[in-house]
C-alpha cells in the first residue's frame, strides 16, 4: 500500500489543478475534490495520508469537515487553506487537529515545504516507533536457548520461516515451552522486523469482542461506535499478527479468519468494502488441532491453511540437556533485573532440577530460578530454597509403608525387599531382563548391559542362564526343592511400555 497519498479539497479549480500538478511532480499520489460531499467520498476510497483542505467550501464548513476527517481516522494529517485567514479560525483548526494553516494566495514553494515537513514528521515518528520496538526486543530477557538436537531443528525452522516470508506459520507445543518467543523470533529476523508485531490471545477476549479487536469497526457500526476504530490486522500493516491459543477461537470466528488467510483481505464491522491484509499470520496452540478437527471443534479447512509451516516445540523434559544452559542464562538475566551477583547453581541444585519433570516447562524453570535468586544470600544457588515438589521428585529411592524399597532405573521398575538382595542375584536378574528384552540376542543384550558379548556369555554360564533368560536348572530354596511359583521372590523387574 502506498503511503504518499494526498487529497486536495478546494472549489477553485485553478488552485486544485496547480497544487495537484506540483505535488505529482514531487512524487506524491494526488486526488482532488471540489465539495465536501466529494471530499468525503474520496476520503473513504482513496484513504489519503494528508488532506489539504479549504475552509470555504460551497456545501460545508471546512472546520466541520476537519472534525469529520479526524473522527474517521485520527492519524490523517490535515493542512488548512483559506482566502480569509484570521487568528480565530487558525487557532480553532489547530485545536481540532490540523497540522498547519495558511492563507491564500500562497507560494507553491512554501506549500511544497509544508507538505514535505508533514511527511518527514510521519517518517520520523515511524522510525522512533521502530526504534522503541527494537529496544523492547533487545531488553526482552527471555530468549530461545538450547543446544539439544530438537532445539536446533526449531532454530532451523525459524530461519526458514523468517527468510522465506512465510505468510502463515503454526507453532505447537505445551504451555510454557516458548511459543510466543518463536513467533517474535520469526518476525524480528525477517524483512518485516521494522513493522509492528501485534499479539492477540484468542482465549482471553470474549467472543463478541474478538472480531472488533481483529478487524476494527466503522463509525456507527454499533451503538457506542462514535468513531472509526482500526483492528489488529490493519494496525499491523506490513508486519505480523500473532494469534495465540488459536485452538480456543470461537468456531464462528474461524470462518472469518479463514477468509483473511485465503484472500489476504478483511472488512471492518459495519464496513462496505474489503481492506488489504498485508500481514504475516502466526498462530500458536497447546491443543491437539487434528483431534479437534475430528471432533468438529476446529475447522479442518482453517487448520490445513494454517499448517503450511509448522514448528513443534519440545517440552523441557524432552531436552533436559538444555537445563544447565537455561539455568545459567536465567541467572545472568535475573542478576540484571534484581541487581544481584549470583555466579551459578550448585551441582546438587542442578541434579534436582534435572530430575524434575517440569510440567510448566521453561516458564516454570524461569520462575523457579527467579525464586532462588531472590532468596539466595550467597553467590551460588543452593538447593535449600527449592520447593518440596522439586526436592522429592525423581529420587533414586522411595521408602514404602510395607518396608519395600522401589527405584526407577532406565525405565525398568525394580522392587527390592527390605531384607535386601545380594549383588550376584541382582546381576543375574539384570542379565535375564536384558536377554528377554533382546529376544535372546546376546549381542543386543550385551549392548543393553554396556558390556562385551564374551563377558555376557561368561556370566550367563556362571549363573546357568539360557538365551531366553531362563535358568537352565531349577534354582533351589536351600533344601534342594524348587522355588514355588507363588513363593515371595527377592526382586522383581517390570518393563514399562
Q: Which CATH superfamily is 398-495 part of?
A: Homeodomain-like (1.10.10.60)
Q: Is-above-0.95 flag for pTM?
A: no
- 22-43 exposure pattern, b = at least 16 Cβ within 10 A, e = fewer: bbeeeebebbbbbbbebbbebb
- Residue 360 belongs to what H/E stretch? none
pLDDT of residue 111: 85
pLDDT of residue 185: 92
Region 316-392: CATH code: 1.10.8.60
Rounded distance between C-alpha atoms, residue 344 and residue 352, angstroms: 15
Region 140-312: CATH code: 3.40.50.300
User: Which residue spans of the chain are classified as CATH 3.40.50.300?
Assistant: 140-312
pLDDT of residue 70: 86
Q: What is the DSSP string of 91-105?
A: HHHHHTT-SEEEESS
User: Which residue spans of the chain are classified as CATH 1.10.8.60?
Assistant: 316-392
pLDDT of residue 414: 56
pLDDT of residue 494: 28
How many beta carbons lie within 10 A of that of residue 272, not counting itself?
8
Could you tell me where the DSSP H helices lie in 323-422?
Answer: 323-338, 347-355, 361-375, 388-392
pLDDT in tens, 412-447: 455 565 566 777 778 888 888 888 888 788 888 888
pLDDT in tens, 127-153: 766 665 555 554 454 578 888 899 999
Could you tell me where the DSSP H helices lie in 225-360?
Answer: 232-235, 251-263, 289-294, 300-306, 323-338, 347-355
User: What 3-state class would DSSP assign to 45?
Assistant: helix
Rounded distance between C-alpha atoms, residue 267 and residue 1, angstroms: 16
Rounded distance between C-alpha atoms, residue 358 and residue 461, angstroms: 44
pLDDT of residue 97: 82
pLDDT of residue 312: 96
Cell, residue 264: 489476504
Separation in Å, CA 56 to CA 40, 47, 112, 170, 411: 15, 22, 22, 54, 86
User: Which residue spans of the chain are classified as CATH 3.40.50.2300?
Assistant: 5-123
* Nearest Cα residue to 170 out of 247, 251, 262, 235: 247
pLDDT of residue 496: 23
Fold of 5-123: Rossmann fold (3.40.50)
Specify the pairing of strand 100-103 against strand 77-82. Answer: parallel
User: Which residue spans of the chain are classified as CATH 1.10.10.60?
Assistant: 398-495
Distance of CA 385 to the CA centre of its chain: 31
Rounded distance between C-alpha atoms, residue 192 and residue 279, angstroms: 9
pLDDT of residue 32: 93
pLDDT of residue 477: 42
pLDDT of residue 84: 65
Rounded distance between C-alpha atoms, residue 89 and residue 95, angstroms: 10
Specify the pairing of strand 412-416 against strand 492-495. Answer: antiparallel
**pLDDT by position in tens, the chain (length 497):** 457 899 999 988 888 898 999 999 988 999 999 998 999 999 988 889 999 988 888 888 888 888 888 888 888 899 888 776 566 666 777 777 888 887 777 778 888 888 988 888 888 777 766 665 555 554 454 578 888 899 999 999 999 999 998 899 999 999 999 999 999 999 989 999 889 999 999 999 888 889 999 999 988 888 888 888 899 999 999 999 999 999 999 999 999 999 999 999 999 998 888 898 899 999 999 999 999 999 999 999 999 999 999 999 999 999 999 999 999 999 999 998 899 999 999 999 999 999 999 999 999 999 999 999 999 999 999 999 999 889 887 554 444 444 444 444 444 455 565 566 777 778 888 888 888 888 788 888 888 888 888 888 888 888 888 877 666 554 444 433 333 344 333 333 222 22
Rounded distance between C-alpha atoms, residue 360 and residue 169, angstroms: 24
pLDDT of residue 2: 59
pLDDT in tens, 285-317: 999 999 999 999 999 999 999 999 999 999 999
Amino acid at each position: 500500500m502506498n503511503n504518499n497519498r494526498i487529497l486536495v479539497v478546494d472549489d477553485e479549480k485553478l488552485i486544485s489543478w496547480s497544487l495537484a500538478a506540483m505535488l505529482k511532480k514531487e512524487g506524491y499520489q494526488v486526488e482532488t475534490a471540489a465539495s465536501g460531499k466529494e471530499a468525503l467520498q474520496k476520503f473513504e476510497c482513496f484513504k489519503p495520508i494528508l488532506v489539504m483542505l479549504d475552509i470555504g467550501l460551497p456545501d460545508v464548513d471546512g472546520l466541520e469537515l476537519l472534525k469529520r476527517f479526524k473522527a474517521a481516522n485520527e492519524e490523517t494529517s490535515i493542512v488548512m487553506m483559506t482566502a480569509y485567514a484570521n487568528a480565530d479560525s487558525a487557532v480553532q483548526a489547530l485545536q481540532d487537529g490540523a497540522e498547519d494553516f495558511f492563507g491564500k494566495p500562497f507560494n507553491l514553494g512554501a506549500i511544497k515545504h509544508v507538505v514535505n515537513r508533514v511527511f518527514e514528521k510521519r517518517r520520523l515518528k515511524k522510525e522512533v516507533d521502530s526504534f522503541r520496538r527494537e529496544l523492547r526486543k533487545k531488553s526482552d530477557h527471555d530468549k530461545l536457548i538450547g543446544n539439544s538436537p530438537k532445539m536446533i531443528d526449531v532454530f532451523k525452522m525459524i530461519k526458514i520461516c523468517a527468510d522465506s516470508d512465510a505468510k502463515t506459520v503454526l507453532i505447537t507445543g505445551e504451555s510454557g515451552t516458548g511459543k510466543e518467543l518463536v513467533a517474535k523470533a520469526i518476525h524480528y529476523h525477517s524483512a518485516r522486523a521494522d513493522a509492528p508485531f501485534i499479539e492477540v490471545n484468542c482465549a482471553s477476549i470474549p467472543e463478541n469482542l474478538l472480531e472488533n479487536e481483529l478487524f476494527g469497526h466503522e463509525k456507527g457500526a454499533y451503538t457506542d461506535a462514535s468513531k472509526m476504530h482500526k483492528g489488529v490486522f490493519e494496525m499491523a500493516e506490513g508486519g505480523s499478527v500473532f494469534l495465540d491459543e488459536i485452538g480456543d477461537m470461537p468456531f464462528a470466528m474461524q470462518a472469518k479468519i479463514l477468509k483473511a488467510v485465503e484472500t489476504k483481505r478483511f472488512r471492518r464491522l459495519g464496513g462496505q468494502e474489503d481492506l488489504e491484509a498485508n500481514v504475516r499470520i502466526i498462530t500458536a496452540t497447546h491443543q491437539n488441532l487434528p483431534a479437534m478437527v475430528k471432533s468438529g471443534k476446529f475447522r479442518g479447512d482453517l487448520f490445513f491453511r494454517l499448517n503450511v509451516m509448522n514448528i513443534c516445540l519440545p517440552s523441557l523434559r524432552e531436552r533436559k540437556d538444555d537445563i544447565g544452559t537455561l539455568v545459567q542464562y536465567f541467572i545472568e538475566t535475573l542478576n540484571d533485573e534484581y541487581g544481584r551477583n549470583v555466579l551459578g547453581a550448585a551441582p546438587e541444585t542442578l541434579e534436582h532440577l534435572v530430575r524434575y519433570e517440569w510440567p510448566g516447562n521453561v516458564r516454570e524453570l524461569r520462575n523457579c530460578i527467579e525464586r532462588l535468586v531472590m532468596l539466595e544470600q550467597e553467590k551460588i544457588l543452593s538447593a535449600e530454597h527449592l520447593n518440596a515438589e522439586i526436592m522429592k521428585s525423581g529420587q533414586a529411592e522411595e521408602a514404602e509403608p510395607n518396608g519395600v524399597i522401589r527405584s526407577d532405573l532406565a525405565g525398568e521398575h525394580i522392587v527390592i525387599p527390605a531384607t535386601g538382595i545380594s549383588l550376584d542375584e541382582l546381576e543375574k536378574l539384570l542379565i535375564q531382563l536384558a536377554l528377554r528384552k533382546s529376544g535372546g540376542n546376546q549381542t543386543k543384550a550385551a549392548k543393553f548391559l554396556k558390556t562385551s558379548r564374551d563377558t555376557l556369555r561368561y556370566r550367563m554360564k556362571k549363573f546357568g542362564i539360557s538365551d531366553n533368560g531362563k535358568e537352565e536348572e531349577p534354582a533351589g530354596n536351600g533344601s534342594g526343592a524348587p522355588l514355588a511359583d507363588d513363593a515371595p521372590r527377592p526382586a522383581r523387574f517390570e518393563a514399562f511400555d
